[in-house]
Structure 1
Amino acid sequence: MERMKERNLQVLKIVAAAFILAVICTCSAVSAANLNVDSEAEGGYTTIQAAVDAAKAGDTIFVSPGTYVENLKIDKQVRIWSDSRNPDNTIVKAADPAESTVEITTERVTFSGFGVEDSKKAGILLTGVNNCYINNNRARNSEYGILLQEAGNNNINGNIITLNEIGIRLEGSNSNTIQDNLVAYNYGFGISLEESRKNIIFNNYFKNAENIEENTVNADNTWQSTLSTKSNLVRGPYIGGNFWADLEGTGYSETCVDGNSNGICDVSYEVTGGGSDNSPLYPKVPNAVTSLESKLDAEAYEQGLADREGAGNETGTPVEEQTEENETAGEGNETNETEAPEENGAPGPGLGFTVLAAGAAYILKRRR
């Protein structure tokens, strides 16, 4: 009899704990909120940083079009989206150019749909974080467009990275995915990897002074995905490697041979610093490259070069743009936008109530 009472008491404790867990999880799921930012609104959030400071983990921040002069410090698991999904009309400029314009220091952050500009450090900096989603941004006029430091398993997807000293830089960062980006008209390297391994880099458009930094161990990274039937960045029929162009129009993808007309160069591209892109893209569809170029600004790049030469600037100094972006530069950017991956949510209430029912059944059985 005493043993039966002890067992029943243990079951009741388990049921109670499961019930409390279910209530907590339900409350947590309900508590996620949407916050809105408008630089001209009265009584609301007029800066993105104010909304980040007020947000809780799991919240989503929507930002109205405008220019926000601030240095963002994102230290909470939040999603930040521009309302328009257009990085040409929702812009974050560094208030202090000595600091990164946007710095992310926590995991599972989504940052999508912004122009990010004017830092002597990084436009977007991810430091010591995992599982962040950086999508559909235009990062320009900074030392580094996007910089990852000791960061892993992040997705850098569908961004335009241009007019920086270095487009994308990875330092001690492993297992990241870099795909579907336009990395073009940067004054130094398109991409630079230092002590970074197991990153997968595919379906990007590279066209820079130098596409890849030479003094890196690029063989430890993968420069193509598994060949799959899906339209690629230059509208070919297969997702594979990257499109390798140069400023003279004589890049590998621009001059390679595609004997079987599958939109993939017949011979692999040997990556500077080691490694190879085994499925480099070929411009099979007429005007596909022209369409990509319409989102960029070659004139601003040429003006930047002229300004550097005239002012005697040393390499590495960010250059102020002297010309406006083409009005059509952002058209079609919405196609880069993909839904952010789901964050790991708290367990739902189903498990708790299942345990509750099982416990009750057990007690009834024992009493019989």
Structure 2
Amino acid sequence: MRNRTIFSITLAFIFIISISAISSAREITVDDDCGADFISIQEAVNNSVIGDTIIVMPGIYTENVRVDVKGLTIRPESNNGSAQIKPLNESVSTFLIEADSVAISGLKIIGASKDYPESSIVVSSDMNKLTGNIIENGCILLGSESSGNLIAENKISNGEGIHIGCCAVNNAVLGNTISNCSTGISESDQTVEIRNNRITDCDCGIRLSFASSIIDNNTILNCNIGIKLGDGCDVDIVNNAIMSSAECGIFDTENNGRKRIYNNYFNNSLNIKFAPGEGGNTWNNSLTSGSNIVGNPYIGGNFWAKPDGTGFSQICVDLDENGIGDLPYNIYENEFDYLPLVSQSSPQNSITPTANFTASVTNGTAPLVVKFTDLSENAVVWNWDFDNDGLSDSTEQNPVYVYRAQGNYTVNLTASNGLNTSSKITNITVEKRVSSTWPFVYVTSGLNVYVIDTATGTVISKVKIGPWPERVAVTPDGENVYVTNSWDGNVSVIDTATNTITDTVKVGSYDIVVSPDGKKVYVTSGDSNNISVIDTDTNTVTATVPVGNWPERITVTPDGKKVYVANHGSINALDDTVSVIDAATNMVTATVHVGNWSEGIAVTPDGKRVYLANEGHYVSVIDTATNTVTATVDVDNSPHEVIVNPTGKKVYLAGTKKAYAAGTDDGFVSVIDTSNNTIIATMDIVGGSPTGLAVTPDGKKVYVTNSNVSGNGTLSVIDTSNDTLSASVNVEFSPGGLAIVPDPESVPQVADFSNNVHKRSAHL
């Protein structure tokens, strides 16, 4: 009973103190000249209590203000921008708000410059209101874990816009006008309501990452990117107008299928841009009565316009005149807006399309890669018949096709707006090939395996695999590609004639190699410390071989008798071994001790030596007759990829440079002379870290895939005659492992293989 009495008295005391503080709240005036309570805002804050209002008279106040009094209001005498605050110390914030429930409104706050993004208002507390301010050369920054704040009706220009830190909830950004900033509004890892803002002439209008937010009724104009969505975004984007973006309206850098995007007005040369991802985003609401963003009577999908008037919504027919297009809009791969909005004010039903296109080349030797560029007018549907057999080969607007066999072909494009059609044809002449090297590589990235024409870097096909495909191996006849998928723990089998998945084997996690006779596939399984053996006739696992700790890479001797496995080890269990497997018995017959963090491994064409890249900075040379290390080559860098030239005279190593630092991704390729195991050349890979190596069957070229921090990459080409980089082709994805598909004409023929080659040449 006594404790309960003390508690009641304490509550009563707190209540009395609170009432006393509120009743004592007053207005305090500040004038930079004289005639007021104080001449600086900081002095007024220092002498205020909870609930006070500080009224700032017209003038210029040069100071840095720290607000640590709860419930304080700071406002000007009049909201005409005549009360201006500039930072005394330009490297810190003009206002630092550390107390809860502070309101700052109507002030003109001038930051130092764009070079100081924290030079205006920084908030590290909750339930604050920043409204009606004019901010130049600075930004508003909400620190991490600052919740329940309102940022509304401010005018922000020539700075960093509004930045919202992580790990908070219930913040709102409403009705602000933001112009000429690096980013209009950015937020990370929290829930924010972003409504009714106008953002113009910024590099990025709105940027989100790990966000669960609502983006509603904003206007984004003349920005480089309208909205940029990063990792882990689960957002609703509705009722917005995104126009005249230089790069794109929305850039979805993850494409993870957790966004609802509808009733927006897009009018950009490129409305949507995707990075590789699983897709599955929602692009339309269910058909609902109600005025949509262009004034039509139903809420459905989005209005897809382009500045030149060729957007889907500007062309697609609407025969029932309900303001919803009669065709779904294919945004990207399997992404569709099934209820696209159209304009009821334009006579779309009377529009007649005109088919037109160009081909990157119209004649050349096989295999001939042709990129078709659509120039049709008033079209929303495209049907391409690449060999004029009456069957549609592609519905992409700008497809790529490979003519693999000699012949004369007629290409027929039929363009449509859903009601009327138009066609155009052109001829393609393909001559007999003169090169014995088939110029296609298969490269893993994101959720896909890309098929690339190495001459131009053109992606000629894309096979959706699943999360995190890692390494690639090709059967000797070039008919099948095997890909390990680390996320799903399986191996996908791709038919190279059709570039479709024909089988999936539930095994494996990282590296993969095919036996020289094409009958077996060996796969590393790091999490279970074993090697799985797949029979290629049945695509079933026929054996499992325990090896060392975390098997990383694998290679097979040219006679197919031995399999060498590099055991990488883990953080908690280092390993420094290579396991040697007898392919006939599937038993480990030897263990070779090498350096820690073993990575890439390759065997010479004569089968006498194995070269092993150790991330430390050197390469171990193993004698396969004795299974002992006979030499060590100091690379002075960190190698993790290795291949041997078909002549056996050179070994190529790739990895990150010794001077690698955070934020950089430069790599290297070094060449070892196998006659004396010395490095004879080193090439810098600038702007990319090597992720894979492959050498052509004739040994004349080495291809290097390089990934960089921007999410894009390059395909570097090395001329092995002089060991110099002869070319670098940009690819618009982050590449991983790669393998070269052999030329069918150079593969040793079996009885009916020539017929198979002829049939296969007609496919993409």
TM-score class, shorter-chain normalisation, is: 0.5 to 0.7
Q: How has the CA–CA distance of structure 1 residues 67 and 219 changed in structure 2, closer, same or farther, with 3 Å as cutoff? A: same
For 1:93, give the aligned amino acid. Answer: N
Distance in 2, Cα, partners of 1:208 & 1:254: 13
Asked if structure 1 preserves the Cα contact closer than 8 Å seen for 2:318 and 2:324, the reply is yes
Alignment-derived partner of residue 127 in structure 1 = 188
Q: 1:173 Cα deviation (Å)?
A: 3.2
Matched, 1:138 2:198: yes
Choose 1 or 2 for highest CA Rg.
Answer: 2
Alignment-derived partner of residue 79 in structure 1 = 150
Alignment-derived partner of residue 112 in structure 1 = 174
Distance in 1, Cα, partners of 2:321 & 2:74: 49
SS across alignment from 2:83:
coil
Distance in 1, Cα, partners of 2:15 & 2:337: 49
Q: How has the CA–CA distance of structure 1 residues 22 and 236 changed in structure 2, closer, same or farther, with 3 Å as cutoff? A: farther
Q: 1:155 Cα deviation (Å)?
A: 1.0
Alignment-derived partner of residue 158 in structure 2 = 93
Asked if structure 2 preserves the Cα contact closer than 8 Å seen for 1:36 and 1:63, the reply is no
Higher relative contact order (CA 8 A, sep 6+): 1
Task: Report 1:96-245 matches (<5 A).
Answer: 100-106=160-166, 107=168, 108-119=170-181, 121-128=182-189, 130-151=190-211, 153-195=212-254, 196-217=256-277, 219-245=279-305
Asked if structure 1 preserves the Cα contact closer than 8 Å seen for 2:198 and 2:219, the reply is yes
Q: 1:209 Cα deviation (Å)?
A: 1.7
Alignment-derived partner of residue 59 in structure 1 = 128
SS across alignment from 1:281:
coil
Q: 1:215 Cα deviation (Å)?
A: 3.8
Distance in 1, Cα, partners of 2:289 & 2:14: 45
For 2:139, give the aligned amino acid. Answer: N
Structure 1 runs not aligned, ≥5 long: 1-7, 84-89, 95-99, 288-368
Alignment-derived partner of residue 262 in structure 1 = 322
Q: How has the CA–CA distance of structure 1 residues 55 and 127 changed in structure 2, closer, same or farther, with 3 Å as cutoff? A: closer
Asked if structure 2 preserves the Cα contact closer than 8 Å seen for 1:173 and 1:197, the reply is no
Q: 1:219 Cα deviation (Å)?
A: 2.8
For 1:140, give the aligned amino acid. Answer: T
Asked if structure 2 preserves the Cα contact closer than 8 Å seen for 1:189 and 1:212, the reply is yes
For 1:183, give the aligned amino acid. Answer: I
SS across alignment from 2:313:
helix
Q: 1:193 Cα deviation (Å)?
A: 0.7
Q: 1:113 Cα deviation (Å)?
A: 2.1
Distance in 2, Cα, partners of 1:82 & 1:245: 29
Q: How has the CA–CA distance of structure 1 residues 273 and 212 changed in structure 2, closer, same or farther, with 3 Å as cutoff? A: farther
Distance in 2, Cα, partners of 1:20 & 1:150: 44
Q: 1:247 Cα deviation (Å)?
A: 2.0
Q: 1:127 Cα deviation (Å)?
A: 1.8
Distance in 2, Cα, partners of 1:21 & 1:218: 56
Q: 1:52 Cα deviation (Å)?
A: 4.8
Kindly indicate which of the two structures has a greater share of residues assigned to helix: 1
Distance in 2, Cα, partners of 1:172 & 1:16: 52
SS across alignment from 1:254:
helix
Q: 1:211 Cα deviation (Å)?
A: 0.9
Alignment-derived partner of residue 70 in structure 1 = 138
Distance in 2, Cα, partners of 1:11 & 1:205: 62
Asked if structure 2 preserves the Cα contact closer than 8 Å seen for 1:61 and 1:79, the reply is yes
Distance in 2, Cα, partners of 1:175 & 1:272: 19
Q: 1:15 Cα deviation (Å)?
A: 9.3
Q: 1:12 Cα deviation (Å)?
A: 8.8
Q: 1:184 Cα deviation (Å)?
A: 1.0
SS across alignment from 1:210:
coil
Distance in 2, Cα, partners of 1:11 & 1:146: 53
Asked if structure 2 preserves the Cα contact closer than 8 Å seen for 1:256 and 1:282, the reply is yes
> What is the TM-score with the length of structure 1 in the denominator?
0.61
Q: 1:69 Cα deviation (Å)?
A: 2.2
Alignment-derived partner of residue 339 in structure 1 = none
Alignment-derived partner of residue 610 in structure 2 = none
Task: Report 1:309-320 matches (<5 A).
Answer: none
The alignment covers a number of residue pairs equal to 266
Q: 1:164 Cα deviation (Å)?
A: 1.7
Distance in 1, Cα, partners of 2:297 & 2:317: 16
Distance in 2, Cα, partners of 1:238 & 1:218: 30
Alignment-derived partner of residue 346 in structure 1 = none
Q: How has the CA–CA distance of structure 1 residues 264 and 18 changed in structure 2, closer, same or farther, with 3 Å as cutoff? A: farther
Q: How has the CA–CA distance of structure 1 residues 217 and 258 changed in structure 2, closer, same or farther, with 3 Å as cutoff? A: farther
Distance in 2, Cα, partners of 1:270 & 1:54: 43
Q: 1:226 Cα deviation (Å)?
A: 2.3
Q: How has the CA–CA distance of structure 1 residues 280 and 18 changed in structure 2, closer, same or farther, with 3 Å as cutoff? A: farther
Asked if structure 1 preserves the Cα contact closer than 8 Å seen for 2:137 and 2:157, the reply is yes
Root-mean-square deviation (CA), in Å? 3.8
Q: How has the CA–CA distance of structure 1 residues 53 and 166 changed in structure 2, closer, same or farther, with 3 Å as cutoff? A: closer
Distance in 2, Cα, partners of 1:50 & 1:19: 43
Distance in 1, Cα, partners of 2:291 & 2:127: 33
Asked if structure 2 preserves the Cα contact closer than 8 Å seen for 1:205 and 1:244, the reply is yes
Distance in 2, Cα, partners of 1:279 & 1:15: 62
Q: How has the CA–CA distance of structure 1 residues 81 and 256 changed in structure 2, closer, same or farther, with 3 Å as cutoff? A: same
Distance in 2, Cα, partners of 1:238 & 1:13: 63
Q: 1:278 Cα deviation (Å)?
A: 1.0
For 1:91, give the aligned amino acid. Answer: I
Identify which of 340, 346, 350 aligns with 1:280.
340
Q: 1:252 Cα deviation (Å)?
A: 0.7
Identity of aligned residues (%): 26
Structure 2 runs not aligned, ≥5 long: 22-50, 52-69, 86-105, 111-117, 348-764
Asked if structure 1 preserves the Cα contact closer than 8 Å seen for 2:123 and 2:141, the reply is no
Q: 1:286 Cα deviation (Å)?
A: 7.0
Q: 1:59 Cα deviation (Å)?
A: 2.3
Worse-superposed segment, 240-249 or 252-261: 252-261
Kindly indicate which of the two structures has a greater share of residues assigned to strand: 2
Asked if structure 2 preserves the Cα contact closer than 8 Å seen for 1:36 and 1:62, the reply is no
Q: 1:251 Cα deviation (Å)?
A: 0.9
Asked if structure 1 preserves the Cα contact closer than 8 Å seen for 2:205 and 2:225, the reply is yes
Q: 1:245 Cα deviation (Å)?
A: 0.7
Q: 1:154 Cα deviation (Å)?
A: 0.6
Q: How has the CA–CA distance of structure 1 residues 278 and 68 changed in structure 2, closer, same or farther, with 3 Å as cutoff? A: same
Q: 1:232 Cα deviation (Å)?
A: 0.5
Q: 1:177 Cα deviation (Å)?
A: 0.8
- 1:289-327 CA deviation, whole Å, 9 max, x = no partner? xxxxxxxxxxxxxxxxxxxxxxxxxxxxxxxxxxxxxxx
Q: 1:21 Cα deviation (Å)?
A: 12
Alignment-derived partner of residue 41 in structure 1 = 83
Distance in 2, Cα, partners of 1:266 & 1:12: 74
